[in-house]
Chain A
């Protein structure tokens, strides 16, 4: 399904997105229908109700850095989670494939938002249901917007990672925020020459494991923000260490080992 998804969404790029200030419900529904058909073809999607909820600022702080939280019902045995920014040139932000070491209560990330848009999350359960939720975000310009001006610093530290962890309650999963320094160039930003766009260079895959057990594999795309951030919770396995492997679209591979959280 993975490859089919990417190919279908590449085709979708050719369909013009509705522009900013688009509050037209019919147009929104039409846009989602396109994405839904491309990404999930014959699957029936059902309203997630409380099983999947999206939280995001109604009005973005910075359209190139919009924080999104997806709250999940752990009892639903969710195996994949797909996130879409409907009106972005490339709507699919990414697909999380959950492993057994993840605690499926909440996923957070930061995305670029190009125009006022619905954000959709689709959670696939172990028994083959597809649960959807959406949230409207008012932000614009996040894709073609120039990079943050920190490009030189980011390129100097490309691939550096941080795993910011909180000490959990006894027996609970460990809340963590993974930061990976990467410009995540989306191919729509003008370069310093002024004549060429900076070629796309973005994280395509992020794999997180603990003690050899998968926490998640993320297939990601250009709609993730610069210096991507991913929030999740995990249950340590094996020696409790965390191994991260990230690969970008140029084939560069970044690896990092994090020791178990000290007692």
Chain B
């Protein structure tokens, strides 16, 4: 575990897709320790991943795990939830998270079960949801929660630890691993701009190093998304469509990211679908 700010711990995920060997421990997950309680930020990508994180909490503090904050619907962040049910925490997520779990939970669980068997884990419905902003108090340490519009996913939540000026941006920020787009490319760029005004000393990305400086930590993901959207618009404006975008969009970003060819094509398809309805005639 890294401790980029006092009492704020990050387990850095590996830059791979989920496998039986890595147990889907591919996202940056962690926890914040206050005077009275602990908040887990993302319970992990599988039951085993969640249990390992729980063990890391217990190794560092005897304070209760009072909150489990789920930053969004994706399996590498949410499927470790059952590991914490025994602690009876309050599960917190974006107001759109319950609907997203309903639509996708079984699909993700089934896929992870195929890979990991009973270690696959599951999503847990949030007890408390955030439509705009909310705060939780860990005892002398307030975490500010902020719900975002469709960006990386449709249920992105970020966490500000005011005590250490640390912004936990989760998957609104990618470094090293190519961003994956499952919300809105325009929305993601908008949310980055809105987030940029946040005063913070450092930021925790959902994928990449344990922490980065702020706001320059958002430069790479922003450049990637601007390039993707710009290239796709160029193709559409010149009469091209999906097939034409595949070989050209964001190709200048190749070499700057890992797993590029595993996600860039899907991002292009998503962006074409979104942007061809941007200004319907």
Tell which of A9-17, A95-103, A139-147, A201-209 binds the partner.
A139-147
- Which residue from B102, B183, B241, B277 sits with its C-beta under 8 Å from A227? B277
Residue of B268, B273, B274 with most partner-chain A CB within 10 A: B273
A138 close to chain B: CB less than 8 A? no
Contacting pair B246 A192 (CB below 8 A): no
- Which residue from A149, A157, A227, A229 sits with its C-beta under 8 Å from B153? A149
If A148-B270, A148-B273 touch, whether A192 touches B239 (CB-CB below 8 Å) is: no
Contacting pair A162 B102 (CB below 8 A): no
A190 close to chain B: CB less than 8 A? yes
Contacting pair B265 A65 (CB below 8 A): no
If A149-B182, A190-B104 touch, whether A231 touches B268 (CB-CB below 8 Å) is: no
Contacting pair A61 B102 (CB below 8 A): no
A67 to B235 Cα, complex, angstroms: 16
Q: Report B-chain residues with C-beta under 8 Å of the C-beta of A190.
A: 102-104, 106-107
Specify the chain B residue showing the minimal Cβ separation from A69: B243
B35 close to chain A: CB less than 8 A? no
Interface residues in A123-164 by Cβ distance below 8 A to B read 141, 144-150, 153, 157, 160, 162-164
A179 close to chain B: CB less than 8 A? yes
Chain A interface size range: 35 or more
Contacting pair B103 A146 (CB below 8 A): yes
Contacting pair B241 A189 (CB below 8 A): no
A100 to B159 Cα, complex, angstroms: 61
Contacting pair B243 A191 (CB below 8 A): no
Q: Tell me if B's interface is mostly helix, strand, loop or mixed.
A: helix
Q: Report B-chain residues with C-beta under 8 Å of the C-beta of A177.
A: 241
Specify the chain B residue showing the minimal Cβ separation from A179: B276
Contacting pair B266 A229 (CB below 8 A): no
Contacting pair B280 A192 (CB below 8 A): no
Q: Report B-chain residues with C-beta under 8 Å of the C-beta of A250.
A: none
If A61-B246, A69-B243, A162-B276 touch, whether A194 touches B101 (CB-CB below 8 Å) is: yes
A62 close to chain B: CB less than 8 A? yes
Interface residues in B97-112 by Cβ distance below 8 A to A read 98-107, 111
A262 to chain B, nearest CB (A): 12
Contacting pair A146 B246 (CB below 8 A): no
B215 close to chain A: CB less than 8 A? no
A57 to B269 Cα, complex, angstroms: 12
Q: Tell me if A's interface is mostly helix, strand, loop or mixed.
A: loop
B154 close to chain A: CB less than 8 A? yes
Contacting pair A57 B104 (CB below 8 A): no
Contacting pair A181 B103 (CB below 8 A): no
Residue of B105, B107, B242, B280 with most partner-chain A CB within 10 A: B242
Residue of A69, A144, A148, A195 with most partner-chain B CB within 10 A: A148
Contacting pair B277 A157 (CB below 8 A): yes
- Which residue from A61, A144, A179, A231 sits with its C-beta under 8 Å from B107? A144
Q: Report B-chain residues with C-beta under 8 Å of the C-beta of A157.
A: 277, 280
Contact with B along A171-186 (1 / 0, CB 8 A): 0000001010100000
A27 close to chain B: CB less than 8 A? no
B108 to chain A, nearest CB (A): 9
Specify the chain B residue showing the minimal Cβ separation from A59: B265
Q: Report B-chain residues with C-beta under 8 Å of the C-beta of A36.
A: none
If A61-B246, A61-B266, A162-B280 touch, whether A149 touches B150 (CB-CB below 8 Å) is: yes
A157 to B243 Cα, complex, angstroms: 24
Q: Report A-chain residues with C-beta under 8 Å of the C-beta of B154.
A: 149
B281 close to chain A: CB less than 8 A? yes
If A157-B280, A162-B280 touch, whether A150 touches B102 (CB-CB below 8 Å) is: no
If A144-B107, A194-B101 touch, whether A150 touches B273 (CB-CB below 8 Å) is: yes
B115 to chain A, nearest CB (A): 13
Q: Report B-chain residues with C-beta under 8 Å of the C-beta of A263.
A: none
Q: Report A-chain residues with C-beta under 8 Å of the C-beta of B273.
A: 65, 148, 150, 226-227
Contacting pair A67 B243 (CB below 8 A): yes
Q: Report B-chain residues with C-beta under 8 Å of the C-beta of A163.
A: 281
B101 to chain A, nearest CB (A): 7
If A65-B242, A144-B107, A157-B280 touch, whether A149 touches B183 (CB-CB below 8 Å) is: yes
Specify the chain B residue showing the minimal Cβ separation from A55: B243
A59 to B150 Cα, complex, angstroms: 27
A65 to B265 Cα, complex, angstroms: 11
A189 to B102 Cα, complex, angstroms: 10
**6 more CB-based (< 8 A) A-B contacts, given A69-B243, A141-B111:** A57-B246, A57-B265, A148-B270, A149-B182, A162-B276, A226-B273
Closest 4 CB pairs of A and B: A194-B102, A192-B99, A62-B269, A61-B269
Chain A contact residues, CB within 8 Å of chain B? 57, 59, 61-62, 65, 67, 69, 108, 110, 141, 144-150, 153, 157, 160, 162-164, 166, 177, 179, 181, 189-195, 226-227, 229, 231
Offer 21 A-B interface pairs, CB within 8 angstroms, sorted by A.
A57-B246, A61-B269, A67-B242, A67-B243, A141-B111, A146-B104, A146-B107, A160-B280, A163-B281, A177-B241, A179-B276, A181-B280, A190-B102, A190-B107, A192-B99, A193-B102, A194-B102, A195-B102, A227-B273, A229-B242, A231-B241
